[in-house]
Chain A
């Protein structure tokens, strides 16, 4: 008996890690930073992943509508900057120095833009922004999560989204893939080429099948925060059914920064599952409640989640909550929902002003 107990405790010691998110949280700090061939890149807030960097070419995958880009070059050079996953109306402009020239070179698809930048030696600061993005006002975004094994049918959703007028971007709450492999992540980005909206997303537990997880190399930070037209968005990495303590610290900063703004918070695994016995929620109910209390104290206006392959509208800690896992992954049966995405209207002065579900096929 003693031997058995010792063995069991030993095995548990090896496999148990009460902080499985540490590696991803620390990786977040590296996103948007790179250097090569005498050129250093830094994206504010880590809001774009560096997908390629050479002496004359920089490729970035954007995670947000706007951000600042700092380039430090050890010599004057002509640099082609390719921006992927950006809003149709977004533009890259020079902040400083004034003498830097920037030339639009077009793009292959509506969410891609290329620019020729004549860099001087030293630091150059550029900004990606959509016209009017810094002015408070109403706008519309879509919400979709949990595609996983249904990647082959995701075009149904994208084509339907393309027909939606006024939607400015698609927000995602994870589970883009089944395992998070290189092939799956690249496939997803290829499929996104037909979507005429940028896709700002965090990861889900199904991106954790690769070791180490590769998601951040392709889609950028797992936890991040951005603003658009005065509305704050915070996406958090809850893919391991917990938040990393490092992320917890960022949450405090972001909640404080957005305390007086309309604030939408999204993550993959919800703190609480509306069907509690199912346990599609945080590993610790105590951690879940504590997080929701902080959201409530900071006047978060809307929480959005994935993970559960259906549609739920409920309140948590008095905050409206949506679970929209209609991307096509193994659907919850008997719920009369089926594949879907959400369209949400927000206004920096009035909060969340509208929501509707767009069904793409017959519910189960």
Chain B
């Protein structure tokens, strides 16, 4: 009966947003949430298994439309309202970007910014839904949220990527990557070599961190960061007679969802936006072929969580959308009218099983499927030395 009452009153609660719990049983007038996620809250007992199950259902119905519904059921009304607000802002951005595209016929002057706005809106929309699910289903958000953050001074990655798709000529790549940090600066050279030895992709990134953890600073207990990234890559595919070189500039951010509510500690939202200018070279035997200039909107959003348990700090998993169409996996193709316009979807997980050694898993779907695994090795910076013994 209680569950039915909660379900029936849910939409009303969302609309009137009274700011009191409906699913849990805190004393009326007693705030269930702390004023801020970083303060030490007087937190009530966590929801029972039954309440959590009911909330999980509410995440889907009506939560698919009314984001935060799961948190309303567990009594986290402030968090719920914030997720609902994020959904609204996301929808507004989708509507705004989509309207510009529709009303201007994707004008050459406005299509890039409008598409970027829409991508960001989709990120907020999907992210607020995922956050609702995370907050309801994660039983130990607080434990994850209290993990210390740092940035490794040096990290290397060696892995293998497998590709499958109708236009895949090179089904396997070896991945090598090194990331070096000094203070707020980072440089990351990487390379992909096809196992057949005919295709290669070289990339280098330089970044400056305006906000967030560095090897010498732990990032004030959150996973927030704000980086400006300058990148370049050269990708040659001799079997296809082509090579692509690209210069990129983007803003890369991470927002710790612990700011939104205590149940979301340990979760984060990634967003990056930027622009790439590229040149395509054609290497056709016996034919002099002029190259082509190309440009690309760089946009990426993801929702992720810090791994707990036996995982050491820096372990995390995320689901993401990446708008770029010029990687090993291109944009998303599908039946129907909209094939190709969207970018690709993927997941990325990294698990450090010692302070220095870990593994990562990657997966993507777009114009092809990609799956891969890597070995990670890192050397942490001075900030980590103060955290020895903690995960």
CA of A50 to CA of B157, assembled, Å: 58
B residues less than 8 Å from A209 (CB atoms)? 336-337
CA of A274 to CA of B294, assembled, Å: 7
Interface size counted on chain B using CB atoms at 8 A:
70
Q: Does chain B have a CB within 8 A of A205?
A: yes
Given contacts A4-B319, A5-B319, A290-B242, contact A276 B336 (CB under 8 A): no
Within the complex, what minimum Cβ distance (angstroms) separates B318 from chain A? Answer: 9
Question: Quick one: CB contact mask for A249-279 with B, threshold 8 Å, 1 for yes?
Answer: 0000000000000000000010010111111
Given contacts A1-B138, A5-B317, contact A317 B292 (CB under 8 A): yes
A residues less than 8 Å from B138 (CB atoms)? 1
Q: Does chain A have a CB within 8 A of B217?
A: no
Of residues 233 to 261 in A, which have CB atoms within 8 Å of B's CB atoms? Answer: 239-242, 244-245, 248
Given contacts A279-B115, A284-B167, contact A289 B331 (CB under 8 A): no
A residues less than 8 Å from B283 (CB atoms)? 293
Among B174-182, B189-197, B361-369, the stretch that binds chain A is B361-369
Within the complex, what minimum Cβ distance (angstroms) separates B259 from chain A? Answer: 19
Q: Does chain B have a CB within 8 A of A286?
A: yes
Within the complex, what minimum Cβ distance (angstroms) separates B285 from chain A? Answer: 7
Please indicate which of the listed interface residues B166, B237, B285, B296 has the most CB atoms of chain A within 10 Å of its own CB.
B166
B115 touches A277 (CB 8 A): yes
Q: Does chain A have a CB within 8 A of B20?
A: no
CA of A335 to CA of B284, assembled, Å: 35
Q: Which of A5, A12, A20, A309 contacts B339 (CB 8 A)?
A: A20
CA of A333 to CA of B110, assembled, Å: 10
A residues less than 8 Å from B134 (CB atoms)? 1, 4
Q: Does chain A have a CB within 8 A of B133?
A: yes
A residues less than 8 Å from B287 (CB atoms)? 296-297, 299
Question: Quick one: CB contact mask for B303-325 with A, threshold 8 Å, 1 for yes?
Answer: 00100000000000101000101
B294 touches A241 (CB 8 A): no
Q: Which of B104, B105, B108, B325 contacts A283 (CB 8 A)?
A: B325
Given contacts A4-B319, A245-B167, contact A286 B242 (CB under 8 A): yes
A residues less than 8 Å from B323 (CB atoms)? 279
Given contacts A241-B340, A278-B106, contact A289 B244 (CB under 8 A): yes
Q: Does chain A have a CB within 8 A of B187?
A: no
Given contacts A3-B137, A5-B347, contact A284 B108 (CB under 8 A): no
A residues less than 8 Å from B334 (CB atoms)? 15-17, 20, 240
Among B37-45, B274-282, B378-386, the stretch that binds chain A is B274-282
CA of A124 to CA of B208, assembled, Å: 76
Q: Does chain B have a CB within 8 A of A351?
A: no
Within the complex, what minimum Cβ distance (angstroms) separates B330 from chain A? Answer: 3
Q: Does chain B have a CB within 8 A of A228?
A: no
Chain B contact residues: helix, strand, loop or mixed? loop
A residues less than 8 Å from B297 (CB atoms)? 276-277, 279
A residues less than 8 Å from B107 (CB atoms)? 332-335
B336 touches A317 (CB 8 A): no
CA of A278 to CA of B294, assembled, Å: 11
Within the complex, what minimum Cβ distance (angstroms) separates B322 from chain A? Answer: 13
Question: Quick one: CB contact mask for A321-364 with B, threshold 8 Å, 1 for yes?
Answer: 00000000011111100000000000000000000000000000
Closest to B333 in A: A283
Please indicate which of the listed interface residues B111, B295, B297, B363 has the most CB atoms of chain A within 10 Å of its own CB.
B111
A297 touches B241 (CB 8 A): yes
Within the complex, what minimum Cβ distance (angstroms) separates B21 from chain A? Answer: 24
Q: Does chain A have a CB within 8 A of B387?
A: no
B residues less than 8 Å from A18 (CB atoms)? 164-166, 333, 365-369
B280 touches A289 (CB 8 A): yes
CA of A77 to CA of B230, assembled, Å: 75
Within the complex, what minimum Cβ distance (angstroms) separates A294 from chain B? Answer: 8
B340 touches A281 (CB 8 A): yes
Closest to B277 in A: A276
A278 touches B244 (CB 8 A): no
Given contacts A18-B165, A317-B290, contact A4 B333 (CB under 8 A): no
Q: Does chain B have a CB within 8 A of A116?
A: no
Closest to B338 in A: A205
B residues less than 8 Å from A281 (CB atoms)? 325, 340
CA of A20 to CA of B366, assembled, Å: 12
Of residues 127 to 141 in B, which have CB atoms within 8 Å of A's CB atoms? Answer: 130, 133-134, 137-138
CA of A105 to CA of B284, assembled, Å: 52
Q: Does chain B have a CB within 8 A of A112?
A: no
A293 touches B242 (CB 8 A): yes
CA of A318 to CA of B287, assembled, Å: 10
Closest to A246 in B: B166
B residues less than 8 Å from A84 (CB atoms)? none
Q: Which of B137, B292, B337, B339 contacts A242 (CB 8 A)?
A: B339
Q: Does chain B have a CB within 8 A of A308?
A: yes
A-B contact pairs, 22 of them (CB 8 A): A3-B137, A4-B130, A8-B345, A9-B347, A20-B336, A206-B337, A240-B333, A275-B108, A277-B296, A277-B297, A278-B112, A283-B366, A285-B296, A286-B244, A286-B326, A289-B280, A292-B282, A293-B240, A294-B241, A332-B105, A333-B103, A334-B104
Chain B interface (Cβ within 8 Å of chain A)? 102-109, 111-112, 115, 130, 133-134, 137-138, 164-167, 235, 237, 240-242, 244, 275, 278, 280, 282-285, 287-290, 292, 294-297, 305, 317, 319, 323, 325-326, 328-341, 345, 347, 363, 365-369
Chain A interface (Cβ within 8 Å of chain B)? 1, 3-5, 8-9, 12-13, 15-20, 179, 205-206, 208-209, 211, 239-242, 244-245, 248, 269, 272, 274-287, 289-290, 292-294, 296-297, 299, 308-310, 315-318, 330-335
* Known interface pairs A12-B345, A286-B326, A293-B242; 19 further A-B residue pairs with C-beta atoms within 8 A, sorted by A's residue number: A8-B345, A9-B363, A17-B333, A20-B333, A240-B339, A242-B339, A279-B297, A279-B331, A281-B340, A283-B331, A284-B167, A285-B244, A286-B235, A289-B242, A289-B244, A297-B241, A316-B292, A318-B289, A333-B105
